[in-house]
Every structure is written in C-alpha cells, then in structure tokens.
Structure 1
Amino acid sequence: MSSQQEPQLDQKPLTPSKMQQPSPRLSTRLQHHPYQPPAGFDAVEPGVHHASTVIFPNVAAMRARDWRSKAGYTYGLHGTPTTFILEERLAALDGGRHCVLCPSGLSAIALIDLALLQQGDTMLLPSNVYGPSRELAERLLTAWGIEHRLYDARCTPDELAALITPQTRLLWLEAPGSVTMEMPDLRGLIAVARQHGVRTAIDATWAAGIALQPFDLGVDVVMQALTKYQSGGADLLMGSVTTRDDALHERLLLTHMRIGLGVSADDVARVLRGLHTLPLRYHAHDASARRIAQWMQGQPAVAQVLHPALPGSPGHAHWQRDCCAAGGLFSVVFQPCHSAAQIDAFVDALQLFKIGYSWGGPVSLAVPYDVQSMRSPSHWPHAGGLVRLAIGLEDADDLIADLRQAMQRLIPTD
C-alpha cells in the first residue's frame, strides 16, 4: 500500500445510539422547539386555548379518550380547557349539571329542536315566541316533517293540556315573551307537560341565571343567548344549552357533534370575563329599567308599559311568584292616536338610546315594532305602536331626559 493511500474505514454499521442526528433546520425548529414553560402559573382569568388539533402523548392515549368525556381532550370542536371552564360555570349558574356551547342563541334553539324532535313529532311554541325560532319551525322543521302549533302565551294549564296530542314531544317556554313581555304561568304549564310526558325547554336569556331558576320549576332544558347579559359587551355571539339529566345531555351532545357546532376561544374568554360582573350589571340594568318604566307610565302619550315587575303588566302575578329580579328590558305601547311615522320619529330623536337589536350590553337601545301584525287581535284590539327599550348602564336621569326630549316629536294627530 502506497504511503499516500488512505486507510480503509471501518465498515461496521453504527448502532442507533451512536448515530448522530442532524440538527433540525429552521422551519422544523419553529414547529418543534423543545422549550416548555414551567408549571405553576396561575391568574384570575383562565388561559385561552386555541385548538383544532389536540396532541396526544401516544397512540394508546389517543385510542382511550372519549370525546364525550371531560376527563381529557380529543379535538378542538369537542372542547378545550377554556370551553370546559365556561360550560361548568354556566351549568352552575343555571342550576344544572351539563352545558354545551353554541355559536349563537338561535343555534342553541336549533340544537334543542334537532336533538329532541324527529319526523312525525309536534312541538308547541308560545304565540310570543322569538321570531327566528318561529321561522325555524315554519321554514325548516315543517319541511322535514316536524310540525308545530302555537299556544296563547297567557293560556291556563287546562288550555295548554287541550293542545297536547300523542305526537307532542316538546313544549317551548319564554319568560317573559319576546317584545310583548308576557310572563307565563311557568309552574302550571310545566306541570301539565310533565303529566303528559312532554319535554320542556325554556329560553331563559332574560333571567340570565339570576332572576329565575327554571330547573327548580321542573324544566328539562335551559337555553340562553350568551350574546346578552353574560357577555355584557355587545361584541360577540354565543349560546348555551344546559340540562340536569345525563341521558338528555348525551342526546344533545351527540347532535351538537354531528352538526359541528363550535365557538371561538377568544369569545369564550370574553364571556368568562363578563361572568365576574354579571350580578352587578344585571341588578344595575334592573334598577334603572324599573325607574324609567315607572316614569314612562306617567307620560300622556303612553297607553301601557309592558314590564313584568310592574302591576298591570301581563303575567305580573307569575313574575312575583317565580322571579326575584327583572333585568333591563321592557316595552312601551303608545296611545292609538300616534301614528307609526310619529313613533318612528320619536325613536329617531333619541340621542343616548341607539337603534339596534339585542340587549344586555352597556348602551341603551330602542326598536319600534308593529305589534298588531305580531300578536292576536284579541289581546291587542286597539293598541298603538310599540317601542322596546333595552336599558344599558348609562345614568338613569340622563336616559329619562333623552326620552323626554324625544317625546316632543309625539304630537297628537287631528
């Protein structure tokens, strides 16, 4: 062998322990950096976990986890620490055991309908039901073979019993009713439904878990639009569905998964933050609304104020029996002598009150409605126009002053 010839290398393969792994390149290091923050961090607000993919430690753990259980995580749509925390807090607020989150209040209503009804079934809706809920029944559910019947929101238990058939599967309740604010006989209606084996669901958004505890009255499902008081900021959409019954929750949860309902982690964090001040805000809305409603009662242009806590409002006795607060929402019915154009001008003249749907936020809102086109003539034979007022967190005296100056637009017609 020439002195210039290099020696032959040992050709024995290296064992895996001796093999040198190349350093990951930049794009890989950005995805798989080894750093983990130290444990033990805690703060007032829960962490915001953004996730679609959830990482499992191994295949066995992946196969062992059940997406229906809150003992672990499987996929972002089925829950993260952020959403689990909100669901548990809302369940406690409602007095229930289980809660699922939906992208809006209307989607929460749809979830209940789709989970509990099938072709050939009938559900009962109050005559003052939330408009989009009625649209859902009329335009979609009917086409799928699910029927609905309207019942008078002021009906007696016996009158409701006369409407129940062997096909009736679900009774919807609203407390109070949308726009016209009737408070139903919840105890009596729920008792009738239970006697006939009919499930009950209530839109309890107005109560916010504070003014009313529907589960204590025997309701099966409580729905809320978290868009309103729980959020408190008028800056997000979300809904919740709460139950006490394990089997009923399973039925709702399966439907929730099958139609792919999910919520934003950032929106969940906003609702969690809003829960800290929910009781304070709710009672502040309530106090201002009662004062302003009483002031409105004394105005010559006003025929009636629809506020459950005021004597003379439809269902006031039921509110006294079942509720402990009233929130910030009420409606004003004007004297028939005032035209729709004048009432619109009154709303346009408001400065602090803004024109917009929804309620429960910091800013007061006003919306005019044609109540005679919405309700039975037997209850509204000679009523004038109606304006719904959502009282925000402004000073009550300033809101009264705003209403007073806008009243100048209401000049009686000849």
Structure 2
Amino acid sequence: MIMTTLLTQLSHLGTAVCDEKHPRAPVALPAIRTSTVRFNDIDTLHDTYRRQAAGERIVGYGRMGMETHAAFEEMMCALEGGKRAFLAPSGLNAIAMVLLSLLNAGDHMLVADCVYGPVRQMDETVLKRMNISSTFCSMRDMAELESKIQSNTKILYLESPGSLLFEMLDLPAIAAVAKKHNLLVIADNTWGSGLAYRPLDLGADVSIVAVTKYIGGHSDLLMGAVVAKDDAIIKRIDTNQYALGFSTSADDVWLAIRGVRTLDVRMKRHAENALKICEFFDQQAETLQIYHPAFEKDAHHDLWKRDALGSNGMVSVALNLTKAQTKVFVESLKLFSIGYSWGGYESLIDMVNTDFLKNHAYWNPNYPHLVRMHIGLESPEDLIQDYQQALEKARNYPPSIP
C-alpha cells in the first residue's frame, strides 16, 4: 500500500491484519493485554535478549507492551517524524524518562522559563538531589541564551508554544546554538502533538508529548510519549526506560490509537473555534492582551506562520478586572467547566494564579489577571453568548471589591 501523506498513514497504521492468512479481521486492532510473554523454545528466548540488547523494539516481557503498543508507537513516529517512540504513564513521566536518561550527576541544563510548571518542581525535588542543576531563562535572545551556557551544560529544554502564555520560541535558532555547543535540544510538543508543530523537523533532538491532551482527545486517559530519531539517543532512552520500569495500559494505548484517527479533524475544529473566541475578546473593553499564536495580533504570530503547521483551542486572555470580578466571570460561565487540563472535546477555563507567571519574561507584571481557556468542540456562537452573559455579570459586580 502506498501512503504518501501523513493523514493517510494515520488512518491506516495500527489496523488489524487482513490478508490470505487472516481473511476476516476487525478494523480496529484489539487491546492486547499481557504480563507474560511465552517463547517457543530457549533459542527464541535468547535471540530476544540479544535483539533487545542491540536496541530493537522486540517484546520479551509484558511491561513493554505487545502489538497494540507497537502500533501506537509507530503512529507517534509518523506524527513527530521520528525513528523510535517510547510510552510512559503520563506526560510528566515522559519528561522524567528523558531527563533521567540523558542527564548525569554534575550536569546542567538550560530551561525555557515558559515550560510546564511541574518541570520546576521536578528540578527542586528530584534533579537537585541528584546533583543536576537547572537554569530557567528566557530563550528569546540567542546571545543572552548563549551567555548562560556553562561548561557542564548538556541540554536546552523548552516548550513551544509555552505552557500558559503560548509564547512561540525560535526553535531553529535555539537548535543552532545547541549544535554550536554540542548540546541536546529537548522540546515539549504537547501543544502541537505532531500535527500543528514538529520540533524534530525544526532541529530538536527529542520531542515529548502528553498523549493525555489532544491525541487522547476525550479526557479519559493519561499517557506520555517520547520520540527521537538519533540512534545514540534512542539507545540511551531505551536502556533507561526499561530500567525505570515505565509501563502503560493496553486499554489506554487502544484509546490513544482511537484518538489519532480523528486528531486532524478535531484539532482543526478546535483551532477554528479558538480564532472566533479571540476575535470576540479583541472587541471587549476589558481585554488587555490575547495569547494565541495563530491570532494575527499575537506578538509571535510571525513565528507561528513560519514554523507551525496548524493550531489548537488554547487561548489565554489578560483581563482588566478586579480579582473578584474575574472570579465572577469564570464562575458565571455555563458551558465551561473549571479545570486546568485540556485537549478534550469540552471547553475548560482556569483563573491562573499570577504567582505562577512571575518567572515568565513574557508576562507583563502590570496586568492584574489571566484566564486560560481550552475552546472545545461546542458551537462557537453558543460559547460567545456564554461569555457575554458572564462578562455582563462581572461588569456589574462592584469594582470597589478587590
């Protein structure tokens, strides 16, 4: 079968075999669960050990998963443009897998200040205890970034767009700095998930995706994935993943495969809806700034046009309201649930604690409040009506109450 485009590949990869030997087969590959793998003879067992040691993805124990896992790993490689994928029980587990595989005691990494918040907690509670140091900084100025590289720096870790303000970083420029100093570039690509953004194509060495979000797409699974294309990096991650004992449920992997089938159409709808919401907030007097790189007034729209392939439903808005008014606005919404995950079919909103933004160079400290929203698959007209009634309640709430 000739599969010339990514979307065609994603529709056909991971399907059950249907051929002369298997004349009847289901469309969807079953969720194959097992803890134990059987071997026909001792020679097969020993051959499995040998091939595993050489880095081949071959199952010797159930923890690594059977055909269901292998099918989804192949899908992730297609999405991200990589050679090998590794699965973890959550996105944060995937981050830990990479850092514990590629960093040693005494090493240092530079981290973009806009990354997923728990990376800072991992630095404080795990990495420092292992004598691994981190410097969090803006990665917008390449000369400044280069000045922060130390003799023991090994990794440049980033997330683009960033976690709360969706700040686009110049990944090709960052990768050029890394290459000059023989450093690895690790990118959290949960925002792009392979369809909207492809870090490996832009110079990153490893891409990490929280499958929990857009790939899962239905708010019913937790999983992370790591994708790489360099053989030496793949071997290091492979060895450490097995040693650390990461394992994912076959049922969750099956759900992730299901999510990939509709990823393209869902993300396009999320992105279309999000732009309509940006246009709505652009007309509101309370709006100080809209953070969504696909929106033409976003500060990083040109970078998005150059490097991204699409967008999604994530929008943040800085509002000129009191804290009490912002709380009234959020709690008055009928179609939005309050929550800080995203990527599912539903619309969510979170009133961001601005203490979390103090270390983000992109954040304007003069702005009083920020709401982060995931725009779901509902009718955007209905969402806008919901915003209108909630804003009206917030406006009428006494501004004298802080």
**TM-score, with normalisation over the residues of structure 2?**
0.90
Aligned residue for 2:388, secondary structure, equals helix
CA–CA distance in 2 between the matches of 1:402 and 1:43? 43
Deviation at 1:377, TM superposition (A): 8.2
Deviation at 1:376, TM superposition (A): 4.2
CA–CA distance in 2 between the matches of 1:97 and 1:83? 15
**Residues 384, 311 of structure 1: alpha-carbon distance in 2 compared, 3 angstrom cutoff:** farther
Q: Is the 8 A contact 2:197 2:309 kept in 1?
A: yes
Report what 2:245 is aligned to: 260
Aligned pair partner of 1:134 in 120, 125, 146: 120
CA–CA distance in 1 between the matches of 2:40 and 2:249? 25
Report what 1:366 is aligned to: 349
Q: Give matches, 1:142-161, under 5 Å.
A: 142-153=128-139, 155-161=140-146
Report what 1:236 is aligned to: 221
CA–CA distance in 2 between the matches of 1:235 and 1:72? 28
Aligned pair partner of 2:30 in 41, 47, 51: 47
Report what 2:14 is aligned to: none
Deviation at 1:280, TM superposition (A): 0.4
Q: Is the 8 A contact 1:102 1:263 kept in 2?
A: yes
CA–CA distance in 2 between the matches of 1:376 and 1:148? 14
Deviations 1:320-377 (A, max 9, x none): 2111211110101001xx2212211111111101011211101000000122552248
Report what 1:89 is aligned to: 75
Aligned pair partner of 2:319 in 295, 314, 334: 334
Report what 2:206 is aligned to: 221
Deviation at 1:40, TM superposition (A): 4.2
Deviation at 1:316, TM superposition (A): 2.1
Q: Give matches, 1:261-276, under 5 Å.
A: 261-276=246-261
Aligned pair partner of 2:337 in 354, 359, 365: 354
Aligned pair partner of 1:306 in 291, 316, 319: 291
Q: Is the 8 A contact 1:185 1:315 kept in 2?
A: no
Deviations 1:277-331 (A, max 9, x none): 1100010000000111111111111111111122342322211211121111010
CA–CA distance in 1 between the matches of 2:301 and 2:144? 19
Report what 1:74 is aligned to: 60
1:409 aligned onto 2:385: no
**TM-score, with normalisation over the residues of structure 1?**
0.87
1:179 aligned onto 2:164: yes
Aligned residue for 1:410, secondary structure, equals helix
1:296 aligned onto 2:284: no
Q: Specify the code of the residue in structure 1 equivalent to 2:305.
A: Q
Larger radius of gyration: 1
CA–CA distance in 2 between the matches of 1:241 and 1:214? 12
CA–CA distance in 2 between the matches of 1:146 and 1:382? 34
Q: Is the 8 A contact 2:114 2:360 kept in 1?
A: no
Aligned pair partner of 1:61 in 44, 53, 57: 44
Deviations 1:36-86 (A, max 9, x none): xx9544222112110110111112211211346556431111231110010
Deviations 1:217-245 (A, max 9, x none): 11100000000111111000000000011
Aligned pair partner of 1:109 in 95, 99, 110: 95
Report what 1:3 is aligned to: none
Gaps of 5+ in 2: 1-20
Deviation at 1:93, TM superposition (A): 0.8
- Number of residue pairs matched by the alignment: 374
1:388 aligned onto 2:388: no
CA–CA distance in 2 between the matches of 1:123 and 1:359? 28
**Residues 180, 93 of structure 1: alpha-carbon distance in 2 compared, 3 angstrom cutoff:** same
Q: Is the 8 A contact 2:65 2:250 kept in 1?
A: no
Q: Which moved more, 1:180-189 or 1:192-201?
A: 180-189
Q: Is the 8 A contact 2:325 2:399 kept in 1?
A: no
1:208 aligned onto 2:208: no
CA–CA distance in 1 between the matches of 2:229 and 2:316? 33
Q: Specify the code of the residue in structure 2 equivalent to 1:392.
A: G
Aligned residue for 1:326, secondary structure, equals coil
Q: Specify the code of the residue in structure 2 equivalent to 1:217.
A: L
Aligned residue for 2:222, secondary structure, equals coil
Q: Specify the code of the residue in structure 2 equivalent to 1:142.
A: K
What is the root-mean-square deviation in Å for CA atoms of aligned residues? 1.6
Deviations 1:158-177 (A, max 9, x none): 11111111111011111111
Q: Is the 8 A contact 1:123 1:147 kept in 2?
A: yes
Deviations 1:129-180 (A, max 9, x none): 1011111012210111000001114x21111111111111011111111111
Structure 1 consecutive aligned stretches of length 4 or more whose deviation exceeds 6 Å: none
Q: Which moved more, 1:373-382 or 1:87-96?
A: 373-382
Q: Is the 8 A contact 1:372 1:383 kept in 2?
A: no
CA–CA distance in 1 between the matches of 2:144 and 2:32? 50
**Residues 167, 71 of structure 1: alpha-carbon distance in 2 compared, 3 angstrom cutoff:** closer
Aligned residue for 1:65, secondary structure, equals helix
Gaps of 5+ in 1: 1-37
CA–CA distance in 1 between the matches of 2:210 and 2:57? 27
Report what 1:189 is aligned to: 174
Aligned residue for 2:384, secondary structure, equals helix
Q: Specify the code of the residue in structure 2 equivalent to 1:144.
A: M
CA–CA distance in 2 between the matches of 1:177 and 1:222? 14
CA–CA distance in 2 between the matches of 1:82 and 1:178? 30
